[in-house]
């Protein structure tokens, strides 16, 4: 289902469909952990021993172009990638650095209010929250 979608979208835009591209998208589509390029690479390495980081980066660039991936910049050294492309806020744990979605929140009223108060023509946005995840909060208490 996912793969069909990717295959069609790649072909439509004149990109070739390769095992590497499908594999990279599959990793992103199957996780909610917002992996970095390095994490995607490490996950694929066992199954695709010749996979290279360069291919991961090149593929992500294409996936972004055809709208299948969004790029996150949660204030770390590296970018993270998300196959859930509908815009939603993200939260990063400052202890363990995990990044989670905040999908239960309706941001539209806030976005409209901002768009209405600036002379910019707003075309997109990213909301990043920072804090301590439930697991790390528990760990703190057991001390």
- From the annotation, which residues make up the binding site? 93, 96, 133, 136
CB atoms within 10 A of CB 28: 22
Largest CA distance in the chain: 57
57 touches, from DNA, a copy of itself, none (C-beta below 5 to 8 Å by class): DNA
Q: Tell me how crowded residue 86 is: count the other CB atoms within 10 A of its CB.
A: 7
CA–CA distance, 143 with 139 (Å, rounded to integer): 7
Choice between 17 and 91, CB closer to a copy of itself: 91
Residues forming contacts to a copy of itself in the complex (CB under 8 A) are 71, 73-75, 89, 91, 93-94, 100, 102, 104-105, 107, 109-110, 113-114, 117-134, 137
Q: For DNA, how many residues bind (rule: CB under 7 A)?
A: 28
140 to 26, 73, 95, 98: CA distances (angstroms): 35, 27, 10, 16
Our CB check for DNA shows the closer of 62 and 91 to be 62
Min. distance of Cβ 57 from DNA in angstroms? 4
**Residue 55: which of DNA, a copy of itself, none does it interact with, CB under 5 to 8 A by kind?**
DNA
């Amino acid at each position: 289902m996912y793969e069909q979608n990717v295959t069609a979208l790649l072909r439509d835009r004149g990109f070739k469909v390769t095992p590497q591209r499908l594999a990279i998208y599959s990793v992103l589509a199957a996780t909610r952990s917002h992996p970095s390029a390095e994490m995607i690479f490490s996950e694929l390495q066992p199954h695709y021993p010749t996979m290279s980081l360069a291919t991961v980066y090149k593929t992500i660039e294409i996936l972004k172009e055809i709208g299948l991936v969004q790029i996150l910049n949660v204030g770390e050294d590296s970018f993270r990638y998300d196959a859930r492309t509908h815009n939603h806020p993200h939260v990063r744990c400052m202890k363990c650095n995990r990044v989670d979605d905040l999908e239960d929140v309706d941001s539209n009223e806030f976005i409209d209010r901002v768009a209405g108060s600036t002379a910019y023509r707003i075309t997109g946005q990213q909301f990043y929250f920072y804090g301590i995840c439930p697991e790390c909060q528990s760990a703190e208490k057991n001390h």
